[in-house]
Amino acid sequence: MQNNFSNWADKLIETNQLNLKDTLTFRKQDGTTFKKSIGEIFDFVNEKLKPASQEKFMKNVDEGVATGNIVGYIYGASKKYDFDGKVQEKTKEQKPAKEQAQENQTNSSFRRKEPFDKAAWAKEHEEKAERAKQVTINQFVALETNLKNPKTQAKAQQEFNEFLSQMSRNYEYSANNVMLISAQLRDRGLENTGIVKSQADWEKMGVKVRQEGLIILTPTKAIAYEREKVATENGEKWIYKLDDEGKKIPKLNEKGEQEYVTYFNMDGKVFTAQMTDAYESGKLQRPSNDKIPANAITNEAIDVVCAKIANELGVDLNIRPLEKDSYFKYEDKKYEIHINANLSNEEQFNALMREVGSKILHTHDTFNNKDYNEARRKGEAESFAYILAEKFGVEAKTSNYIAEYLKAEEAKPADKREDIKDVLTDVMKAVQYADYKLNLDKLAADFKNATAQIQSETQSNSEKSYDEAFKEIITPSEEVKEEVKSEAKNTETNAKKNTHKQK
């Protein structure tokens, strides 16, 4: 199992074409020198240093990557290490030789009996990434196809909703990465509980990773260079501009500052909770998918959400009797959302979230003011509402707007069509914007607390009323006592009269 340093080092080696056999010369205090290869240095850091020291080493070398002097920074970061082991950091109690050898072979990414075959390693990684990509494409092409087919639409809609549920738990990732995670889990036959972290984040919690990770896209920041378009026999192409020394010319912005570009590579890895010992070790509790009962959602809970939305999104919110469920409009330079007061609180919540989705998705430049399509707009708003309902623990459902939109897209030329990924990407961006403005974790907690508090007060009042009624039965009031005495006296008198009559 690789640790955080091993993953970092493997990526560094691949990305920067490092040769592990390259050697660096170090000088001791007595003036003598010795040599260590980069591979030996990495082995030392991996096996002998504590995580905090490893983090410091990685940070120093990352600075070298940014400045284009990796080897120099590796030297600077490691020149004070005592490779002889005389004052190395304290290690764990030594295990039997055979057991220690097996552990070293498992934990070390750099101690290899055979020379490191970088080409083979890169090929294997590329094949795994390509498989993850293809599995994802296949699953979502199948989902889109089934959504458009009336015979399979109902089942596909359920699968679509399950994916929206996953988005509600992983919205810190891009739609592309959630699709990658979902597809790989299904390919392995694993459930997505929604708790996904990097190995480093799991290790910070004291949790051990037990399975191979899921491949995701990760951004890589790189220096931008000047380019120019030139004509070739095969048409025009872009090439880098070179200076008098034949080196690429860094691209600067208007302020004379270095510009950077971001590339996305399929070289990241994440792990779901069931790929770790998080549950078994007690570090994490299994999430509950229980929904709040419809009749338990209180006016107070709805008010908490409405107040936050009104303040943070700049919307006038009105809950009043309407002929329709809800609507959103922009008039007199202000945004308004109107919700039908005759709906149940559960229905009001879902209607509110649909209109919030409409406000975010269809009034922001973030989404490029795409061409109006009623089915897509309704489908996106409905999907947004479903994700937030899942987040808040409220029952929700979707209709077939997305399916209608995807069917309509078939009439367009192939290169002009948008697919299900485009829709989900917009929805995910909207959820991320809502989280940025509303802090969904806290708002969902406040919503649930308001519901639970009112439920608790109602139950308490109910118990109190019962206790008081019971007490009155057991301990009647003075008025009741007098009434009972009077009734008893009358009964006694009547009994005597009846006795006299019998005589």
| pLDDT level of residue 311 (50, 70, 90 thresholds) | very high
Considering the domain boundaries, does residue 160 fall inside one?
yes
Q: Is the pLDDT assigned to residue 89 strictly greater than 60?
A: no
Regarding whether 135 and 78 lie in a shared domain, the answer is no
CB 423 within 8 A of CB 354: no
Please give the tally of structural domains in the chain: 3
pLDDT for 486? 52
List, for residues 490-502, the tens digit of each pLDDT value.
544 444 434 333 3
**Residue 254 belongs to some domain of the structure:** no
| One domain for residues 375 and 307 | yes
Q: Which of 430, 450, 470 is the last residue of a domain?
A: 450
Residues 347 and 395 in one domain: yes
Quick one: average pLDDT of 39-59?
Answer: 88
In a domain, 183, yes or no: yes
Which own/partner pairs from 365-370 qualify as long-range (CB within 8 Å, at least 24 positions apart)?
Answer: 366/429, 366/433, 367/426, 367/429, 367/430, 370/426
pLDDT at 194: 78
pLDDT at 357 over 90: yes
Residues 446-450, mean pLDDT to the nearest whole number: 92
Cα 238 from Cα 3, distance rounded (Å): 40
Model confidence pLDDT, tens digit, residues 206-221:
999 888 889 988 877 7
Average pLDDT, the chain: 80
- pLDDT recorded at residue 359: 92
Query: In this structure, are 298 and 422 located in the same domain?
Result: yes
- 58 contacts: CB under 8 Å, gap ≥ 6: 5, 8
Residues 425 and 350 in one domain: yes
Based on the domain organization, do 141 and 78 belong to the same domain? no
Instruction: Give the pLDDT band of residue 365 (cuts 50, 70, 90).
Output: low
Which pLDDT score is estimated for 391?
94
| Lowest pLDDT segment from 172-176, 301-305, 322-326, 480-484 | 480-484
Q: Among 56, 87, 116, which residue terminates a domain?
A: 116
- Mean pLDDT in residue range 256-285: 87
**Could you report the per-residue pLDDT of 151-209, keeping only the tens digit for each?**
999 999 999 999 999 899 888 888 889 999 999 988 888 877 778 998 889 988 999 98
Instruction: Record the tokens describing residue 138, joined without a space.
Output: 């296949």
Same domain, 268 and 135: yes
Q: Angle between the 401-409 and 420-438 helix axes, to the nearest 10 degrees?
A: 140
Tokens 């660096």 locate to 24
- Residue 229 covered by a domain: no
Q: How far apart are CA 126 and CA 144, in angstroms?
A: 27
Q: Could you tell me which of 429, 425, 377, 384 has the C-alpha nearest to residue 401?
A: 377
Helix pair angle (153-169, 401-409), 10° resolution:
110
Same domain, 138 and 215: yes
319 shares its domain with 411: yes
> Beta 334-340 vs 235-240: how paired, if at all?
unpaired
Statement to judge: residues 263 and 133 lie in one domain:
yes
* Rounded-to-10 torsion of CA 195, 196, 201, 202: 70
Residue 286 inside a domain? The answer is no
Q: Report residue 350's pLDDT band, with 50, 70 and 90 as the boundaries.
A: very high
Give the pLDDT confidence score for residue 285 in this predicted structure. Answer: 86
**What is the pLDDT at residue 456?**
58
pLDDT of 224 strictly over 50:
yes
Q: How confident is the model at residue 115 (pLDDT cuts 50, 70, 90)?
A: low
Q: Which domain holds residue 186?
A: 120-224+259-275
Please tell me whether residues 60 and 45 are part of one structural domain. Answer: yes
What gap in Å lies between CA 111 and CA 39, rounded to an integer? 8
DSSP for 211-255 reads SPPEEEEEEEEEE-B-EEEEEETTEEEEEE-B-TTSPBPBPB-TT
**299 and 444 part of one domain:** yes
Residue 385: which of 415, 344, 346 has the closest Cα?
346
pTM of the model: 0.64
- pLDDT > 90? residue 145: yes
**Max Cα separation, the chain?**
141
Q: 52: which 2 tokens? A: 């905090």
Predicted confidence at residue 13, as pLDDT, reads: 80
Whether residue 184 is contained in a domain is answered as yes
Residue at a domain's end among 75, 91, 116: 116
- H or E stretch including 286? none
Provide, rounded to the nearest whole percent, the portion of the chain with pLDDT above 90.
Answer: 31
Mean pLDDT of 459-471: 51
The most confident of the ranges 57-61, 179-183, 343-347, 466-470 is: 343-347
Angle at 286 between CA 383 and CA 155, to 5 degrees: 35
Choice among 136-145, 265-274, 388-397, 446-455 with the minimum mean pLDDT: 446-455
Q: What is the pLDDT at residue 389?
A: 96
- Among residues 328, 334, 330, the alpha carbon closest in space to that of 314 is found at 334
In three-state secondary structure terms, 327 is strand
8 Å CB contact between 373 and 409: no
What's the residue count for the chain? 503
Does residue 111 surpass a pLDDT of 80?
no
pLDDT value at residue 97? 45
Q: What is the pLDDT of residue 15?
A: 72
110, 167, 420 from 273: Cα distances, Å? 28, 16, 28
**Sign of the CA dihedral 134, 136, 140, 145?**
positive
Do the domain assignments include residue 337?
A: yes
Residue 164 maps to a domain: yes
Rounded CA separation 277/290 (Å):
24
Tens of pLDDT, residues 4-25: 888 888 888 877 767 777 778 7
Q: Yes or no: say if 214 and 207 are a contact pair by the CB < 8 Å rule.
A: no
Cα–Cα distance, 305 to 392 (Å, whole number): 10
pLDDT at residue 412 above 70? Answer: yes
